[in-house]
Every structure is written in C-alpha cells, then in structure tokens.
Amino acid sequence: MIYPYIIPSILALSAGVYILGLRRAEKVATYSGGLSELHSLPTHYGVFAALCCAMPALLVLVLWMIFEEKVITSMVAGNLPADLLRQSANELTLVINEVKNVAFGGFTATSGNPAIEKAAVAYMAHLTSARNMVSILVVFCSIIPAWFAIKSIGKDLRARNLVEGAVRIVLFACAGVAILTTIGIVFSVMFEALRFFQAVPLTDFLFGLQWSPQIAMRADQAGSSGAFGAVPVLTGTFLIAMIAMLVAIPIGLLAAIYLSEYASSSLRNWAKPALEILAGIPTVVFGFFAALTVAPIIRELGTALGFTVSSESALAAGLIMGIMIIPFVSSLSEDVIHAVPQSMRDGSLALGATHFETIRHVVIPAALPGIVGSILLAVSRAVGETMIVVMAAGLSANLSFNPLATVTTVTVQIVTLLVGDQEFDSPKTLAAFALGLLLFVFTLALNFFALRVVRKYREHYE
C-alpha cells in the first residue's frame, strides 16, 4: 500500500542516506587525522551514498511504470473465458478496455457481462499485489546498494570523481535530448509517410497534378482513393513564399544596409528593436490581420482595377508573410554586413568612391555569402510558416501561378488533414505525414546549407 508514496519515500530515504554518508566520512576523517586526509569533501561522500540509494530504486520503478500495463493485461487476458479469447486482436483490445473501465470506474461503470466483471476484479487484484511486490523490491533496491555504499566510505574512496562522473552523464543525456528530438521527428514522420507510400506510389505523390484528399468518404464510393498529387500544393507553397520574399528581401536588405552603413547610432538604437517587434508578434495575429484587413483591401483594389480577385488570394497571405519575415532578413544581414572589416570600407572611401559605391562594389560583394545564407533561412521560414496561410490562404489546390487566385500550401493541407477526428490508417491522414516529410526534408536541406554558408563566411573574416 505504499506504492502511491513510493517516490517521496525514495527521496526521504536518500536524504537519510546522505546524512549517514556525511557522518561516516566525518568519522573516518577524525580517526585518520583531519579532513585533509580524505580524498574528497564529506558532502561528496554523502551525495555518493544518496545516489547509490536513489538511482537503482528509480530505475526499477521507471521500468515497472513502462511495463506495468502490458504485464497486468497479459496476466488478465490469459484468464479470460475462451469465447472472449477467440476474437480478433481488435475486439480483444476492446474487451480489455472494458475490463479496465470497469476496474477503474468504480460503481458507476458496470458491464452486463459477468466474465468481464470477474476479469475486472482479477485485474484490480493483480495490480494491487504486483504494485506491493514492486514497492518492496524498490525499497530493497535502495537500501542494499546504500548500505554497501556507506560501508565502502573510506579515506581512499574517490567519491568526488564518482559523483562528478554521474553528473557528467546527466549533462550528456540532456544534450542528447536534441538528438533524440531529431531522431523522433525523422522516425515518426518517416514511418507514417512510408505507410502512405504503400497506398499511394511515390511517383504519383511527387508528380501528380491533382490534389483532392477529401473525397475519400466511403469505401465503395467512386474515386474513393482520392487524388494525392502534391504538385499543386507545392506550387502554391512556392507562389506564396515567392510573394513573401519579394516583400521581405528588398525591405529587409535595404533596412539592414541603411541601419549598418548610414544610420546614426541613436537611430539604430531604437529602429533595430522596433523592427524586432515584428519578429515577436505571434503569427496567429498576422493571420488574423491578413484575413480580416488585408485580404478585403486587396480584393476591393483588384476589383476596382478590373481584376477578379479571390477573397483568399495568395497575394494577401504572401504580403503579410513577407512583412513577418522582414526582421529575419534584416537582423541576420545586418550582422553579416557588420562583420565586413572596416578597413575594406576605409580603403574604398579613400580611393574616392562615394558611400553608395563602397556599399555596392565592396561591402555587398564581401557580405554576399552571408546575405544569401540569411535569405535562405528566411525562405525556409516562409515555406514552413503555418498560421498566416491557414487563416488567409485557401484550401483548394489550384495549379495556378496567378497571385490573385486561391492557392493552398503544404502547411495548410497538413493542418486541414489532421485537425478534427481522424483514423490513423486512411491515406487521407497519412498524406499529412508525407507532406510533413517533404516539408521537413526541404527546410532541413535549406537550413543546413544556409547555416554552413553563414558559418564559413564568419570564419572567413574572423
């Protein structure tokens, strides 16, 4: 019955063991002639003993928590009546779920089937006895190593090295979380995408000109497989990203050049943070603004000029996305321009070039690789941006390069396919993961390349 309090009790035990270890180290020190005789500080011995107490116990506990469900379920499932066992795997899961509901639901959840009621009782009994056993095991796993640890404390025990080694392992594990995240992304997206490609051939996905995943409604319906050609989605993505870059590159680059080459330091001091505000505004705000304010303006303007403008035009989404991206272009480019050595500018100015000529013929060529890198990073932002396009761009995948028409993007399709209730074996849901894989690979390549360029460039002038 101590299972619910197992973690606090492990912690309390470890605290006690810490004090015991500390005392023992001090005692050893007094017998062997002062603290300086010890290899490590007394606290190191204490922490060493406490770690020996807590680590094995927590390990056992975590292992049990991971496997508890499986162990108990298999124990209960083995004892189910034969007619329930003869069912398919899916139905068996349902039965097990019902057993659990009855077991945990208390008096409110009852089942008509006496076999299930019995199984539920057995489930609870197994769970309680197993948990009691695990609790005892955990306590043993903490006391025995702790006892050995305290016994081993002597003036020659290298407790500090052991403790620091353990801390180092923890630090390393934390750094490894980043790797695990990447692996997790690659595997989760890849796994579902591969299942998608079993249903839809890769060539159809990459080169198909028709995207309409929504028609897969009923199995017997005509055209129930849907059409999963990603080309219109990709062209839509690039159309919007291109409009965004047409806004962001000139404004961002000119702002960066002006701020780093012409502006007085006082202007720079307030204009730079002011531009950074754009980077801090949540994208959902930009999306709301694009859909509510910008799209109607563009529509009215276009209609007044005699064009037919869709109310979810690529132009509105692209424009706002471009504005969102300005600070990404400007702040990175400014860093890069700033890194160009002053001596190069001085040399050019001394030869009689004007400021503009210096910028055009000396500074920009010198900073070009870095600027290209920053633009590539901005492109990857634009391609992966979600909320603006979800709120301001359309859903229908038109293969069109007309900025006034409705187009859709990869991110919009992922969101529409995955929001709401979904089944995980239909190509419709899995298509989202295939698109996600495409997006991930594309942005990863872009980022990798851009970061390398920027890094190379920095090393060049350092």
Partner 1 sequence: MITQPNLLEPGKDLKKRYRTDRWFQRIGITAITLALAFIALLFYKIITEGYTAFIQTKIMLEVDFSEQTFAKENLAAADYPALVKKSLSELFPEVTGRNDKKLLFGLVSSGAAYKLEEMVSANPKIIGTRQKVWVPAASDVDMLMKNKIDRNAPQENRRLQDNQLAWLDNLHNQGKLEKQFNQTFFTSGDSRDPEMAGILGGVKGTFLTLLITLTLAFPIGVAAAIYLEEFAPQNHWTDFIEVNINNLAAVPSIIFGLLGLAVFINFFGLPRSTSIVGGLVLALMTLPTIIIAGRASLKSVPPSIREAALGVGASKMQTVTHHVLPLAMPGMLTGGIIGMARALGETAPLLMIGMVAFIVDIPGAISDPATLLPVQIYLWADSPERGFTEKTSAAIIMLLAFLMTMNSLAIYLRKRFEIKW
Between residue 308 and residue 337, which ones bind partner 1 under the rule CB under 8 A? 323, 326
Output the smallest distance, CB 296 to partner 1, in A: 12
Output the smallest distance, CB 282 to partner 1, in A: 3
Task: Please report, as residue ranges, which positions from 239 to 258 form the binding site for partner 1 (by CB under 8 A).
Answer: 250-252, 254-255, 257-258
Which span (117-125, 151-159, 271-279, 365-373) binds partner 1, by CB under 8 A? 271-279
Q: Which is nearer to partner 1, 313 or 380 (CB)?
A: 380
Task: Please report, as residue ranges, which positions from 423 to 442 form the binding site for partner 1 (by CB under 8 A).
Answer: 424, 432-433, 436, 439-440
Compute the Cα dihedral for 38, 41, 45, 48 and give only its sign. Answer: negative
Cβ(17)–Cβ(150) under 8 Å? yes
Question: Is 285 near partner 1 (CB under 8 A)?
Answer: yes
Contact residue for partner 1 among 259, 314, 337, 407 (CB under 8 A)? 259
Contact residue for partner 1 among 352, 423, 459, 462 (CB under 8 A)? 352
Q: Which is nearer to partner 1, 220 or 421 (CB)?
A: 421
Output the smallest distance, CB 183 to partner 1, in A: 10
Question: Is 185 near partner 1 (CB under 8 A)?
Answer: yes
Place of tokens 């990709």: 234
Question: Is 356 near partner 1 (CB under 8 A)?
Answer: yes
Question: Is 93 near partner 1 (CB under 8 A)?
Answer: no
Q: Which is nearer to partner 1, 86 or 158 (CB)?
A: 158
Which span (19-27, 51-59, 136-144, 276-284) binds partner 1, by CB under 8 A? 276-284
Q: Which is nearer to partner 1, 40 or 142 (CB)?
A: 40
Length of the chain as a residue count: 462
Nearest residue to 191 via CA among 442, 434, 440: 434
Place of tokens 């796994």: 191
Task: Please report, as residue ranges, which positions from 406 to 425 form the binding site for partner 1 (by CB under 8 A).
Answer: 411, 414-415, 418-419, 424
Q: 3-class secondary structure for the chain?
A: CCHHHHHHHHHHHHHHHHHHHHHHHHHHHHHCCCHHHCCCCHHHHHHHHHHHHHHHHHHHHHHHHHHHHHHHHHHHHHCCCHHHHCCCHHHHHHHHHHHHHHHHHHHHCCCCCHHHHHHHHHHHHHHHHHHHHHHHHHHHHHHHHHHHHHHHCCCCCCHHHHHHHHHHHHHHHHHHHHHHHHHHHHHHHHHHHHHHHHHCCHHHHHHCCCEEHHHCCCCCCCCCCCEECCHHHHHHHHHHHHHHHHHHHHHHHHHHHHHHHHCCHHHHHHHHHHHHHHHHCCHHHHHHHHHHHHHHHHHHHHHHCCCCCCCCEHHHHHHHHHHHHHHHHHHHHHHHHHCCCHHHHHHHHHCCCCHHHHHHHHHHHHHHHHHHHHHHHHHHHHHHCCHHHHHHCCCCCCCCCCCCCECCCHHHHHHHHHCCCCCCCCHHHHHHHHHHHHHHHHHHHHHHHHHHHHHHHHHHHC
Total of chain residues touching partner 1, rule CB under 8 A: 82
Q: Which is nearer to partner 1, 146 or 410 (CB)?
A: 410
Contact residue for partner 1 among 12, 63, 292, 368 (CB under 8 A)? 292
Contact residue for partner 1 among 283, 331, 348, 374 (CB under 8 A)? 283
Output the smallest distance, CB 53 to partner 1, in A: 21
Q: Which is nearer to partner 1, 355 or 460 (CB)?
A: 355
Question: Is 47 near partner 1 (CB under 8 A)?
Answer: no
Output the smallest distance, CB 192 to partner 1, in A: 6
Task: Please report, as residue ranges, which positions from 364 to 383 form the binding site for partner 1 (by CB under 8 A).
Answer: 377, 380-381, 383
Spatial distance between the Cα atoms of 104 and 109, rounded to a whole number of angstroms = 8
Angular region, 125: left φ>0, alpha ψ -120 to 50, beta rest? alpha
Task: Please report, as residue ranges, which positions from 71 to 90 form the binding site for partner 1 (by CB under 8 A).
Answer: none
Which span (105-113, 183-191, 339-347, 400-408) binds partner 1, by CB under 8 A? 183-191
Output the smallest distance, CB 326 to partner 1, in A: 5
Output the smallest distance, CB 219 to partner 1, in A: 23
Q: Which is nearer to partner 1, 82 or 179 (CB)?
A: 179
Phi, psi at 227, each rounded to 5°: -120, 125
Q: Which is nearer to partner 1, 232 or 252 (CB)?
A: 252
Contact residue for partner 1 among 67, 140, 148, 191 (CB under 8 A)? 191
Contact residue for partner 1 among 265, 280, 304, 343 (CB under 8 A)? 280
Cβ(50)–Cβ(14) under 8 Å? yes
Q: Which is nearer to partner 1, 89 or 179 (CB)?
A: 179
